[in-house]
Amino acid sequence: MRRGFWAGLLLAPFAAFADSGPARPTVVVDIHRAGAKAVAELKRAPGVFWSAEFGTELLLAIDAESEQAWLRRAGVRPGPGTLRRDEIWIRDHVCTHKALQPALATIGGYELLRMPAASLKRVAASDASGFPLPADGVVAREAGNTEGLKAASPAVPATLAIVDRIDAERWFQTMSALAAFNRNSFSPALGSAHDWIRDALGAVSDETASFEYTLEGLGNCGSPSPPAITIANPIAFQYGSVAPDEWIVIGAHYDSRNSSRCDGFAAPQPGANDNASGCAGVIELARAFASVPTARTIVYTCFSGEEQGLWGSRRWVESLQAAGTIGRVRHMINLDMIGYDPSGSLDARIETNLANQGLIAQYVAAAQTYAPTLNLITSTSTGAYSDHWYFLAAGIPSVFTWENGASIYPHYHQATDLPQNMTRARELAGAILRMDAAVIVDLAGGTGLFEDGFE
Ligand SMILES: [Zn+2]
């Protein structure tokens, strides 16, 4: 375990390693829209030893005698063979050429690996991200499978007026325009993408800036290390009228990657879904909030260097810490891969860490009222795989809003990550952005500001 790394960030009471027992046969049960009661009953069913919940799917460890009976039931598929609970390792958003071992299975959008104790030490000491099964066995949960879920509240007209400004077709055009740039962090064209984003944000906000930092060479898979370069994150400010020094930060990385070619920037890497989709989402939110008076300041930014290790967001957080202004950031929303849904049920995830689990209810409520088409999956087991990470590490309430896992996207880090390969892009991104917009109204709004004279 990378103790120092996780301590204080993920306070999840991880599965005790005493909970061993022999390896058991496993099955995977579809629990999409099953409801809290039915999921609890499955976990308590006779012959079930332990379970692991992954949003839309439930992994059950069962006795060998009942396996055939389970597999005859509707919505049950074979699991990844026999498993011990304490050797489960879960990961997401891992660049394929860096993975030390292939996944046994993808369950509910998460990759599941068998990681015996010896390998666990090796992986924990490496850069591979991942985590063991949380003690309660819940990695992610569908909002609809959550006990005590409240009914949707009626829409607030002033909030709805802003949410309705989200234009999914306009977002798609922005995303497609960004996908036309070579946005590898080491590409000579990255600066053009930076300027394009800054200009788009500048047209609908009060002021723009650019955060510059040094990205080290970081060569890998035998390729020569490129020289260190200076790159930048475009930033835009829409100032609040009551508390301008209280910031709500909306961020997404704009760089892209083609991992099949060892990060060479000459390889095609349109990164339409990863992550022109999220950066275009930041721009769409800025357009929706253009000229909307808010109490707090909304800060829009697209990060670079994400694919090399979250450098753009990390360095910016560090610079705010060094300047003593990190306390201005009251909340951070991260968007990374928001435009792919092969499930047919418009699955979307909201993730944070256990310390911030209280934030989830606000997003669930926003989705219920303003984006009811979303099948929301919530998790307090987020990892160091996108730009919310260093905000969480700095103690800032941060939430990652995205599709149902990187492993569901067959074009991840490939030359084929193109707009036309993003199934249900407009519906999913449009709904995620409506949810985020409603949350931003709550976070940035302030009392009374929306009641006077706005539309
Ligand atoms: Zn990404």
pLDDT in tens, 337-358: 999 999 999 999 999 999 999 9
Mean of all residue pLDDT scores within the chain: 89
**CATH code for the domain of 346:** 3.40.630.10
Q: Choose the final residue of a domain: 117, 141, 165.
A: 141
How many angstroms is it from 442 CA to the middle of ligand 1? Answer: 27
| 314 shares its domain with 363 | yes
Task: Please tell me whether residues 318 and 273 are part of one structural domain.
Answer: yes
Q: Pinpoint the alpha helices (H) of 238-359.
A: 277-288, 311-323
Residues 360, 110: Cα–Cα separation, whole Å: 19
Do 196 and 279 share a domain, yes or no?
Answer: yes
Max CA separation in the chain (angstroms): 68
Q: Give yes or no for a contact between 351 and 387, defined as CB atoms under 8 angstroms apart.
A: no
**Residue 263 banded pLDDT, cuts 50, 70, 90:** low
User: Has residue 404 got a pLDDT over 90?
Assistant: yes
Domain contains 149: no
The token pair at 316 is: 């910016």
Give domain status of residue 71, yes or no: yes
Dist. CA 242 → ligand 1 center (Å)? 34
Q: Which two tokens stand for residue 235?
A: 């930033």
Q: Helix (H, G, I), strand (E, B), or coil: what is residue 107?
A: strand
pLDDT value of position 144: 94
State the alpha helices, DSSP H only, in 203-349: 277-288, 311-323
The sign of the dihedral angle between the CA atoms of 443, 291, 194, 418 is: positive
Do 232 and 354 lie in a common domain?
yes
In this structure, what DSSP letter does residue 153 have?
Answer: P
285-343: pLDDT as tens digits: 999 999 999 999 999 999 999 988 899 999 999 999 999 999 999 999 999 999 999 99
Asked if residue 147 belongs to a domain, the reply is no
Domain-terminating residue out of 116, 141, 166: 141
Claim to verify: residue 274 and residue 407 sit in the same structural domain: yes
What is d(CA 220, CA 262) in angstroms, rounded to the nearest whole number? 7
Q: Which domain holds residue 185?
A: 157-444
122 and 183, same structural domain?
A: no
C-alpha dist (Å) from residue 440 to 123, 297, 300? 38, 11, 12
Question: Which of 257, 344, 24, 288 lies closest to 162 in space, CA to CA?
Answer: 288
Q: Is residue 151 part of a domain?
A: no
Q: Is residue 311 part of a domain?
A: yes
Q: Are 105 and 165 found together in one domain?
A: no
Q: How far is the CA of 426 from the centre of ligand 1 (A)?
A: 18
Measured in angstroms, how far is the CA atom of residue 295 from the centroid of ligand 1? Answer: 31
Span from the CA of 140 to the centroid of ligand 1 (angstroms): 20
Q: Does 267 score more than 90 pLDDT?
A: no
CB-neighbour burial class of residue 205 (10 A; exposed 0-12, middle 13-18, buried 19+): buried
Query: Ligand 1 centre from 22 Cα, in Å?
Result: 38
Do 253 and 337 meet the contact criterion of CB atoms below 8 Å apart?
no
Residue 429 within a domain = yes
Q: What distance in angstroms lies between residue 329's CA and the mean position of ligand 1's atoms? A: 22
Please indicate, yes or no, whether residues 185 and 136 belong to a single structural domain of this protein.
no
First-to-last alpha carbon distance for the chain, in angstroms, is: 54
DSSP 8-state secondary structure symbol assigned to residue 418: -
Residues with CB under 5 A from ligand 1 (ion): 274-275, 336
Q: Regarding predicted confidence, which is higher, 266 or 179? A: 179
> How many angstroms does the Cα of residue 94 sit away from the middle of ligand 1?
10
Can you list the positions of beta strands (E) in 15-99?
26-30, 48-55, 57-62, 76-78, 88-91
266 and 353 together in one domain:
yes
- The structure tokens listed for 74 are 């509707």
The number of distinct structural domains making up the chain is 2
d(CA 93, ligand 1 centre) in Å: 8
**What is the phi/psi pair of residue 110, to 5°?**
-105, 145
Task: Provide the pLDDT for residue 116.
Answer: 74
* Spacing, Cα 133 to ligand 1 middle (Å): 24
Residue 159 clears pLDDT 90, i.e. is over it: yes
The Å distance, Cα 147 to ligand 1 centre, comes to: 32
Considering the domain architecture, whether residues 41 and 84 belong to the same structural domain is answered as: yes
**pLDDT for 44-103, tens place per residue?**
999 999 999 999 999 999 999 999 999 999 999 999 999 999 999 998 766 544 556 788
CA 360 – ligand 1 centroid, Å: 22
User: Which of 110-114, 280-284, 337-341 bottoms out in mean pLDDT, i.e. has the lowest?
Assistant: 110-114
Asked whether residue 148 is domain-assigned, the answer is no
- Is the pLDDT assigned to residue 25 strictly greater than 80? yes
| Pair 195, 130 in one domain | no
Pairwise CA distance, residues 106 & 128, whole Å: 17
Q: Quick check: bond before 220 cis, omega within 30?
A: no
- Residue 15: per-residue pLDDT: 39
Task: Among 114, 141, 168, identify where a domain stops.
Answer: 141
The Å distance, Cα 391 to ligand 1 centre, comes to 16
Distance (angstroms) between ligand 1 centre and the Cα of 256 equals 7
Residue 453 domain flag: no
Cα(127) to ligand 1 centroid in Å equals 17
- On whether both 188 and 57 belong to a single domain, the answer is no
Mention every residue, 6+ apart, whose C-beta is less than 8 A from residue 438: 159, 163, 366, 369, 370, 371
Order of strands across the sheet that contains 131-132: 105-107, 110-114, 88-91, 131-132
Bigger pLDDT: 267 or 370?
A: 370
How far is the centre of ligand 1, averaged over its atoms, from the C-alpha of 272 (Å)? 10
CA 454 to CA 292: how far, in whole Å? 8
Question: pTM of this prediction?
Answer: 0.91
279 alpha carbon to ligand 1 midpoint, in Å?
10
Position 356, amino acid:
N
Q: How far apart are CA 17 and CA 19, in angstroms?
A: 5
Measure Cα distances from 446 to 52, 328, 364 in Å.
41, 16, 20
Percentage of the chain lying above the pLDDT 70 cut: 86
Q: Which two tokens stand for residue 455?
A: 């539309």
- Output the pLDDT for position 6: 34
